[in-house]
Amino acid sequence: MKKGIGVILIIVFLILILPTENKLKDGGSTEYKALLYKVVRKHALTEDGYIDGWQISLLGKEIYQEEKLVFDETVDQIITLEKDNCDSDIELYTNFNGHNIYTVCLSKIEVINSNEKHELKDYIKDKKSLAFLKSYMTGGSIGESDNKYSNSFNDGGSIIYYEKGKIKDTYNGEFQLLECHRLDGNNDIYIGTNKLENNFMTKKNYCTNYPFTVKKTYKVEDMCKGCAVIDFATEDHPSLDEYVSLKLEGYNNILYWDPNNMLKDINIGDTYTFEFQLTPELTIDETTEPGLIFNTLNLISVSKN
């Protein structure tokens, strides 16, 4: 009788402590689960690389967690050229996978890898990834304890990465990378000089506001104000006389509402630079049609080339 009870107790004990092994569908994590506890060996795939770490729960309550983001790849060197006498000059550099990428006080960014030099935006498009940027800034990985090369902000997850210095734990880099990650959906990226964080904190909250513009240059082939052929008028755009039919070289006609006479000094046949106020809703690149730009963004200046 006592022997039978002992066997039962041993079986119950083994059931409580011996785990089952499950492979999670997140890129490579493994879960070891028993009735008393659960242990997860994390190796979860993200767009930047993998999240490696451990998660331990006892009686359904998490008692330990450690995670580190390990990037897929890095590069040998990133070289930046700073503009002279610049404080906060912001330019739209390129965009990738829904991220608008801006430069702050930089005239050039080059990537050196395997003794080959590339323009940063070309390298991003070739690799179809931004992981190498953060990998280069942090030395290949970043976790909760690796805060010497980053600084997070309480806005949903925005973070500044500092270029890793040649001496371990010493920041002597030449540029910074700000990755916006706000609850309102702003995921822009800013690459700038060492002034970037100071400007972010004291002058312009880049991740919150959009005091930025984009300039596009077009040759005007034809333009006529008040003679556009349209059969509607809305409460927002009540006067048909305020519409302009604009033909830019290489593109279809644009129907543009111009109540402030921004295009009044345009001469047919000349080339102009049009400056527009950027918004977080529209990503602009080299392929964006001018019709979408004119009718989505606010035109703030026009200058003859």
Distance CA 34, CA 129 (A): 39
Residues 269, 220 contacting (CB under 8 angstroms):
yes
Task: Determine how many CB atoms are found less than 10 A away from the CB of residue 288.
Answer: 15
pLDDT of the residue at 279: 66
pLDDT of the residue at 280: 57
Q: Where do we find the tokens 């706000």?
A: 182
pLDDT of the residue at 220: 93
Distance CA 237, CA 216 (A): 25
The torsion angles phi and psi of 304, rounded to 5 degrees, stand at -80, 135
| Helical spans, DSSP H, in the chain | 2-17, 120-127, 131-138, 195-202, 290-296
Distance CA 260, CA 305 (A): 22
Distance CA 131, CA 110 (A): 16
pLDDT of the residue at 219: 93
Q: What is the mean pLDDT of each run of 10 residues along the chain (305 residues)?
A: 64 72 82 86 73 84 80 75 76 83 85 88 84 74 51 66 50 68 75 66 56 80 74 55 85 84 88 81 74 85 89
Distance CA 267, CA 258 (A): 16
Distance CA 286, CA 170 (A): 39
pLDDT of the residue at 101: 87
- Domain ranges, ordered by start, for the chain: 17-70, 77-202, 213-304
Q: Where do we find the tokens 């755009």?
A: 237
pLDDT of the residue at 172: 43
Q: Return all residues near 135 (Cβ < 8 A) that are at least 6 apart.
A: 48, 49, 71, 72, 73, 74, 75, 141
Residues 97, 171 contacting (CB under 8 angstroms):
no
pLDDT of the residue at 84: 79
Residues 38, 25 contacting (CB under 8 angstroms):
no
Q: What amino acid is encoded at 176 in this protein? A: Q
List pLDDT tens digits, range 21-45.
888 887 778 888 888 888 888 877 7
The dihedral region occupied by 299, where left means phi > 0, alpha psi between -120 and 50, and beta the remainder, is beta
pLDDT of the residue at 96: 83
Distance CA 128, CA 1 (A): 69
Residues 189, 100 contacting (CB under 8 angstroms):
yes
List pLDDT tens digits, range 34-90.
888 888 888 777 766 667 888 888 888 888 888 776 766 677 888 888 887 776 677
pLDDT of the residue at 146: 47
Asked whether the CA dihedral 298, 184, 148, 45 is positive or negative, the reply is: negative
